[in-house]
Structure 1
Amino acid sequence: MIKKIFTLLICTISFQAFCQDNLKLWYKKPAKIWTDALPLGNGRLGAMVFGGVKRELIQLNEATLWTGGPVRTNVNPGAYANLLLAREALFKEEDYAKAYNYAKKMQGYYSESYLPLGDLVITQDLKDTIPSSYFRNLDIRNAIATTRYTIDGITYTRQVISSAPDQVIVIHLTSSKAGKLKFKVGASSLLKYHTVAVSGNEIALKGKAPAHAQPNYIDSKNPITYDDSTGCKGMRFELQVKVLSKDGQITADTSGIAVKNASDVTIFLSAATSFNGFDKCPDSDGKDEHKIATDYLNRVASKNWQLLLTRHYADYHHFFNRVSFKLAAPADNSNAKLPTDERLVAYTKGAKDPELETLYFQYGRYLLISSSRTKGVPANLQGIWNKEMRPPWSSNYTTNINVQMNYWPAEVANLSEMHMPFIEFIKNVAVTGRVTAKEFYHAKGWALHHNSDIWALSNPVGDKGDGDPTWANWTMGSPWLSQHLWWHYQFTKDKKYLKEIAYPLMKGAAEFCESWLVKDKDGYLVTAPSVSPENAFYDDKGKRASVSIATTMDMSIIRDLFTNLIDASNELGEDKAFRDTIIAKKAQLYPFHIGKKGNLQEWYKDWEDPEPHHRHVSHLFGLFPGNQISPVNTPELTAAAKKTLELRGDEGTGWSLAWKINFWARLLDGNHSYKMLKDLLRATNVEGTNYSGGGGSYINLFDAHPPFQIDGNFGGVSGMAEMLLQSQNNEIQLLPALPDAWANGEISGLKARGNFEVSMNWKSKKIVTASILAVAGGKCTIRSNEPLTIVGMQVRSNKTTNGYVIAFDAKKGVRYNIAGKKFN
């Protein structure tokens, strides 16, 4: 009791991360469809909990369960010859249709697909299936899902966790009256070749994944195949279920495990695959999935629920509690008391609900912790949650925006460790990418295109001619992914990592860009062929086309890589000769151009768009996630970027809306960012695919592309963080794009480049107090919209043309307290 009172006292005195309230999604009824269900994950094992009464469905995933095997080499020996022909068509003939057709002949195979593991079904024997009370929730503060209902005076409770320290999913069932639990547990899988064995109190579901599944957007008579002519058969997998009870009777038959006369039951779920790395056959060279799953299960079988819960909480809180975010609530805060589905609808209709917005921010952090903790296996298009054998876009790694967006919030939201699976993946794809660069283009370095998968696929996809070059032949994957290598260093200042991991990979990407760039008629270095995903243009003859040279996105990404590589070389004090080469190449890159409408030109020429409101705004890469365009340093380009967004419009798919939050934040327009956030949070139950419009959130707050893509959730978190804190130009900007709706609030634990941890509270849109923890030390420059001073130091901010700037040398490990006040 004393400990509880003490904790409450701390919460009253100072808003701490572990004292955040209302961080729950909750509902008055079970899930009807998958996007109503609630996600759990430990980074490897995922579960979607439906919360049924008589029949509970828990849909399961394992992060490494994919179709296919290691990528093949020498898949298109004619690619290089067609590259030369495509360039000839572009430079000599300006025949974009011909270049398009040659590009189709430069393609390899499609990526593999992420698969569902199986379903666990708990069928409860109840006289009455209509509960007198019902409640289900997801507590993201503790990463636990609870279903509770009362029938015939008995309250039944189910709690579910996906534990990272113990690597199992645990379901704990209780009844308020002794001996009233009576149910059956069964397991099944959509994968064709699987077996289910039941013995005593255990179920073992074993099987093999297909050799290949065609993407869901490809028409095929046999889209899922189990035979592989390469000789590397599909991946093995195993799900094990164990049921334990303190007081009940447990029996088994071929249909599953039956429990009766119990009041407390724990169900353990363990799973593993034979995946043994991106370059090893999962069958002949695979791991022993049975042993792995069995070992996990054996290690937890003797642990009680409370111990498992304690271990789970300690692990999860270590990450989640680093950041707190609170906004002042309106006087009438009734919307916050509604179930989440009703709350989302009311918000969409105009109800003010800042607590829903902060919940959404923390929900994104929760999803990243839950889906990105497996080495070399980053969060895919759906995190780790998927129910389809042919999921949308194969649930793969789409590298022309989507997988990068997944990791935009990793560093700033103080989840640097969750970035590492993506960085490990980049190491893998650089290996296959060197083969792709050499075989397809006779180029140095490593290349990556529009799609990848767990096998680190790097070739342009399209089944050697079936793909649309508008997306399939985009070549800028390696330089864009390299941005994340540099970000991780900027936020951590880990020079060992920079020297041993980031710099060599960045250099390899730069070597590819060096090889890929050619000179145009004016002597500029350009890319060719070049696309602007996934858009098109009308050429000089009025014909629709999509393949040209030197798209603004291409040139921006390469300029970003070259800038970062130069900075990295200077940081290390090494590789001067290559640095000088890159400095010279950077000076020759085709520059930005402003079009006749005042917009930033997307193409090599100032062509018109067939789809003026296209969801991709790729040519604004230099605004975000790059930093080549900013109100402080490049006002003309900033104005052009703003005009581009105005012409493009505010509509878009889920991830497109999220990207626009970030764009408008970089333009320092908090109110427009906020409008895009509200659009991202609008309620939708659309189950179809809408490429140009739509967007919003399902009732479980999953991002609706539609269908579900998790990148919108992560991009939304990034955008909210950018509204509150920016650090891309060697300075920390406090509250750069604060909207009027967030006039009063506080946040703690955000990270800025330079490894500075930032906390702030503000009133009437002005800083009251802030603090900067210099984790690594070094020069610290702070920009704000009002004067600041460092408490206890004779350091005040100076007025500039773009706000106030304060600079000082920060000592490692010291926290600097900052006061916002007016000076005479």
Structure 2
Amino acid sequence: MKSNSIKIFFIFLFTIKMSAQSSHVLWYSQPAEFFEESLVLGNGKMGATVFGGANSDKIYLNDITLWSGEPVNANMNPEAYKNIPAIREALQNENYKLAEELNKKVQGKNSESFSPLGTLEINNEEKGKAVNYRRELDLSNAISKVSYEMAGIKYTREYFVSAPDQIMIIKLTSDQKGALNFNINLKSLLKSNVEVRNNMLVMTGSAPIHENAGYAVLPKYLDIKDRGTRFTTLIQIKKTDGKITNSRESLILKDATEAIIYVSVATSFNGFDKNPATEGVEDVAIALQNLNKAFSKPFDKVKEFHIADYQKFYNRVTLDLGKTTAPDLPTDERLLRYSEGKEDKNLEILYFNYGRYLLISSSRTLGVPANLQGIWNPHLNPPWSSNYTMNINLEENYWLAENTNLSEMHLPLLSFIKNLSVTGKTSAKTFYGVNKGWSASHNSDIWAMTNPVGQFGKEDPMWACWNTAGAWLSTHIWEHYVFSQDKKYLKNEGYPIMKGASQFFLEWMVTDKNGNLITSPSTSPENQYLTPDGFVGATMYGGTADLAMIRECFDKTIKASEVLNSDAEFRTKLETALSKMYPYQIGKKGNLQEWYFDWEDKDPRHRHQSQLFGLFPGDHITPLKTPDLAEASRKTLEIKGDETTGWSKGWRINLWARLWDGNRAYKMYRELLRYVDPDGKKTEKPRRGGGTYPNLMDAHPPFQIDGNFGGAAAVAEMLVQSDENEIRLLPALPDAWETGSVKGICARGGFEIAMEWQNKTLKKVIIFSKTGGTTILISGDKKQTITLKKGEQSEINW
């Protein structure tokens, strides 16, 4: 009797486990038809987009280093700076129309594009109707699976992209002997050649060498012999039984029971300053070496190493938001149900976990950070060139790196900033006449391009002429230091780059008629003002966004110099400049002014909120330190409203979190997870606009990964906020998350937090110090000072 009860109890437990919706697994009951339904895999260099079709499977392949172009000629417009005095004079005379026209003369080339590598197809000989179909992506081990039955035979596929072995693996099995019959082929939208050599499918090709000016769709890329980045894809099959044959461009496997497909990719990219055609690495040799090494190992070992490598990052953070009554449904149906306002706490966790998964999968290549599409782009002419847009998007990709315990994933961005500081020295001199430091502008690419864009005068200054990226990016260096406490990095690499960014702005700024330091010319990212006499423009002076970013840049550079106890003279210059900068202005509507004057916006609900930089991601505006400015920031957000999409919504959620308004942040988090139909899908009542596609990728639209990253970062920001001296616990906890726990969230000062809360009240905290130090823990009205040695932790029942 007793053993029966135990048996029933375990069956009950198993049933609960099976029926509860997962916070780690995306799953679907049909193959993907569109990109926005596919499941993505990556090892930080190679990306794979899996459709999971039964009769025919399609996988888009990417390599993060495959871009159009070659090293940038930073000296492309050597006399552009000569226009600056005339622009400043026009602005001094309040002639904004003339300033706008003259500003176009301070433009260079547009960025290069991230290129699609190719498409792998697996075509089954058996054609029929698949039943009991399931497709999934398990975020806990970065493995995708497909299973289905056809003609009474069960087929399964397992896919992963390994970082340790730099290989993609697809394992196919059937539950009846000899039932696997398929062929594999490869194709590319780029110039390429496909052939079979020694039972190996080989595709070689090259990316174009020029930017796709104006983002117009070209019928064909310009090819120039012996220029551009080369690429190689190699595919080989390991079988247990059956027979491998081939045609000229396909590998064929017949009568097999189990087969493992190995996919190896490589490019000739050898750094931002090396010509990939003449100074590139040997892509064929690298692809072959990776293939041979992985092929010689047992499948189970390659899989084991992949999982162990991935989980050492992913498993650092766990989040629980309490009981949920949501049913277990396929992810697309869950998203639809959630969009109707229903509760699904585990979907909210799944989205957070997915953001961390995407960063681990797309950001592990030094000097080549995750781009607008992360690492997953199928288009020859991707949206916005799939480039590095540095007036928000690139930076937002990395907001979750440090606080969600993925500091290593920040390194590709930090090393890219170092590259920008090299080309940026030339841009500073030739475009702005500034002889010290470095500058960076609106767009960049793998070649660390730093010039203002616009095709040499053809584009609108409202986006093309912005030049404050160096200030924003340099704050990421301080973030990395203050979370990691890596003083060696700060001294040897970080501080010189921060100093260079500050030097540029010290020399670039001028004084207004009242003696305040301002920027001139200035633009506020992608926004336009409306003057009292009706002129609509972008070029002006003393833009709030510029000054907010420069304030933050100077403040963090001062702090870095204090930590290193060096460069006191330069520190004093920065402190003096900070004290003279044109102060924030609160407008007649109670808002934080975006423009030097209290002008109207052309679009009052504009998607950018750059003037609020000091609130987030900066930290010099807070409800406690600067209550007036925090209140003006709140008013600005209220005027702009909540109706925005993608990265903009991700940013606004973080801004509301910093204002300690958890319920407003949560409302917008729910809106970020609004179901959106795939772009190409035709339905009777299409669900379009901003939100989340069926595969949980961000719908800006089209797909941009920054919304995923910004949304995930905001969850952490709602739970923990910190600065160099204190850690605020549950500062923006929404009512919907009244009970829960989190483990592994990081705080500035080198601390790691685990905590539990009930009825919106903190119950228990465990704080761990990676490097040793003192901080003040704050939750509600309670404060507690904690001092820990390196590797020590303290448990507090709050």
Instruction: Bin the TM-score by the shorter chain.
Output: over 0.9
CA deviation vs aligned residue, 1:675-699 (integer Å, no higher than 9, x gap): 110011100126289xxx9320000
The answer to whether the 8 Å contact 2:416/2:448 transfers is yes
CA deviation vs aligned residue, 1:355-403 (integer Å, no higher than 9, x gap): 0000100100000000000011000000000000110000000000000
Whole-angstrom CA distance in 1 between matches of 2:573 and 2:318: 45
Whole-angstrom CA distance in 1 between matches of 2:244 and 2:208: 35
**Aligned: 1:723 with 2:718:** yes
Q: Quick one: which amino acid aligns to residue 158 of structure 1? A: R
Tell me by how many angstroms 1:223 deviates: 7.0
Whole-angstrom CA distance in 2 between matches of 1:448 and 1:564: 18
The answer to whether the 8 Å contact 2:719/2:731 transfers is yes
**Aligned: 1:278 with 2:256:** no
Q: Is the partner of 2:601 in helix, strand or coil?
A: coil
What's the counterpart of residue 426 of structure 2?
435
User: Which stretches in structure 2 are left out of the alignment for 5+ residues?
Assistant: 1-9, 14-19, 682-687
Q: Is the partner of 2:281 in helix, strand or coil?
A: coil
Which residue, out of 701, 706, 709, partners 1:711?
706
Q: Is the partner of 1:701 in helix, strand or coil?
A: coil
Q: Is the partner of 1:404 in helix, strand or coil?
A: helix
Tell me by how many angstroms 1:730 deviates: 2.5
CA deviation vs aligned residue, 1:706-750 (integer Å, no higher than 9, x gap): 000000000001111100000036310000000000001000000
The answer to whether the 8 Å contact 1:78/1:105 transfers is no
What's the counterpart of residue 289 of structure 1?
283
Which residue, out of 589, 603, 609, partners 1:617?
609
Which residue, out of 250, 253, 257, partners 2:251?
257
Tell me by how many angstroms 1:221 deviates: 6.1
Whole-angstrom CA distance in 2 between matches of 1:149 and 1:669: 46
The answer to whether the 8 Å contact 1:42/1:167 transfers is yes
The answer to whether the 8 Å contact 1:688/1:707 transfers is no
Q: Is the partner of 2:130 in helix, strand or coil?
A: coil
Which residue, out of 214, 220, 224, partners 2:221?
224
What's the counterpart of residue 126 of structure 2?
126
Q: Quick one: which amino acid aligns to residue 652 of structure 2? A: K
What's the counterpart of residue 497 of structure 2?
505
Tell me by how many angstroms 1:275 deviates: 0.4
Which residue, out of 370, 378, 395, partners 1:387?
378
The answer to whether the 8 Å contact 1:324/1:747 transfers is yes
Whole-angstrom CA distance in 2 between matches of 1:74 and 1:380: 25
What's the counterpart of residue 160 of structure 1?
159
What's the counterpart of residue 790 of structure 1?
none
The answer to whether the 8 Å contact 1:657/1:695 transfers is no
Q: Is the partner of 1:212 in helix, strand or coil?
A: coil
Q: Quick one: which amino acid aligns to residue 755 of structure 1? A: G
Whole-angstrom CA distance in 2 between matches of 1:594 and 1:729: 28
Tell me by how many angstroms 1:303 deviates: 1.4
CA deviation vs aligned residue, 1:39-96 (integer Å, no higher than 9, x gap): 00000000000010100001100010000000013211331111111111101x1111
CA deviation vs aligned residue, 1:142-185 (integer Å, no higher than 9, x gap): 00010100011111001100000000000000001111000001
Q: Quick one: which amino acid aligns to residue 696 of structure 1? A: G
The answer to whether the 8 Å contact 1:654/1:694 transfers is no
What's the counterpart of residue 28 of structure 2?
27
Tell me by how many angstroms 1:777 deviates: 1.3
Whole-angstrom CA distance in 1 between matches of 2:621 and 2:654: 13
What's the counterpart of residue 347 of structure 1?
338
**Aligned: 1:781 with 2:773:** no
Whole-angstrom CA distance in 1 between matches of 2:224 and 2:597: 48
CA deviation vs aligned residue, 1:653-703 (integer Å, no higher than 9, x gap): 2111100110000000000000110011100126289xxx93200000000
Higher relative contact order (CA 8 A, sep 6+): 2
Whole-angstrom CA distance in 2 between matches of 1:194 and 1:45: 18
Q: Quick one: which amino acid aligns to residue 250 of structure 1? A: I
Whole-angstrom CA distance in 2 between matches of 1:589 and 1:435: 26
What's the counterpart of residue 229 of structure 2?
235
Tell me by how many angstroms 1:21 deviates: 5.3
Whole-angstrom CA distance in 1 between matches of 2:192 and 2:330: 39
User: Which stretches in structure 1 are left out of the alignment for 5+ residues?
Assistant: 1-8, 13-18, 786-802
Q: Is the partner of 1:148 in helix, strand or coil?
A: strand
Matches within 5 A, 1:27-426: 27-91=28-92, 93-127=93-127, 129-191=128-190, 193-214=191-212, 217-219=214-216, 224-227=221-224, 233-330=227-324, 332-334=325-327, 337-426=328-417
Whole-angstrom CA distance in 1 between matches of 2:312 and 2:78: 50
Whole-angstrom CA distance in 2 between matches of 1:20 and 1:379: 30
Matches within 5 A, 1:647-658: 647-658=639-650
Q: Is the partner of 1:367 in helix, strand or coil?
A: helix
What's the counterpart of residue 792 of structure 1?
none
CA deviation vs aligned residue, 1:598-628 (integer Å, no higher than 9, x gap): 0001100000111111111111001100011
What's the counterpart of residue 697 of structure 1?
692
Which residue, out of 449, 452, 458, partners 1:466?
458
**Aligned: 1:496 with 2:494:** no
Q: Quick one: which amino acid aligns to residue 86 of structure 1? A: I
Which residue, out of 536, 539, 548, partners 2:540?
548
**TM value normalised by structure 2:** 0.95
Whole-angstrom CA distance in 2 between matches of 1:571 and 1:77: 38
Tell me by how many angstroms 1:20 deviates: 11
Q: Quick one: which amino acid aligns to residue 148 of structure 2? A: Y
Tell me by how many angstroms 1:305 deviates: 1.7
Matches within 5 A, 1:572-651: 572-651=564-643
Whole-angstrom CA distance in 1 between matches of 2:468 and 2:759: 43
Q: Quick one: which amino acid aligns to residue 682 of structure 1? A: R
Whole-angstrom CA distance in 2 between matches of 1:322 and 1:220: 43
* CA gap 1:435/1:750 in 2 versus in 1, 3 angstroms: same
Whole-angstrom CA distance in 1 between matches of 2:301 and 2:111: 42
Tell me by how many angstroms 1:222 deviates: 6.5
Whole-angstrom CA distance in 1 between matches of 2:674 and 2:248: 46
* CA gap 1:218/1:258 in 2 versus in 1, 3 angstroms: closer
Q: Is the partner of 1:298 in helix, strand or coil?
A: helix
Q: Is the partner of 2:520 in helix, strand or coil?
A: coil
CA deviation vs aligned residue, 1:444-468 (integer Å, no higher than 9, x gap): 1000000000000000011101121
What's the counterpart of residue 765 of structure 1?
760
Whole-angstrom CA distance in 2 between matches of 1:537 and 1:57: 47
Q: Is the partner of 2:224 in helix, strand or coil?
A: coil
* CA gap 1:276/1:23 in 2 versus in 1, 3 angstroms: same
CA RMSD of aligned residues (A): 1.8
Whole-angstrom CA distance in 2 between matches of 1:688 and 1:624: 35
Q: Quick one: which amino acid aligns to residue 54 of structure 2? A: V
What's the counterpart of residue 6 of structure 1?
none
CA deviation vs aligned residue, 1:186-210 (integer Å, no higher than 9, x gap): 111111x211111342101001111
Whole-angstrom CA distance in 2 between matches of 1:507 and 1:74: 23
Whole-angstrom CA distance in 2 between matches of 1:309 and 1:220: 40
Whole-angstrom CA distance in 1 between matches of 2:170 and 2:277: 31
Whole-angstrom CA distance in 2 between matches of 1:132 and 1:302: 35
What's the counterpart of residue 791 of structure 1?
none
- What's the % identity of the aligned pairs? 49
Tell me by how many angstroms 1:213 deviates: 3.7
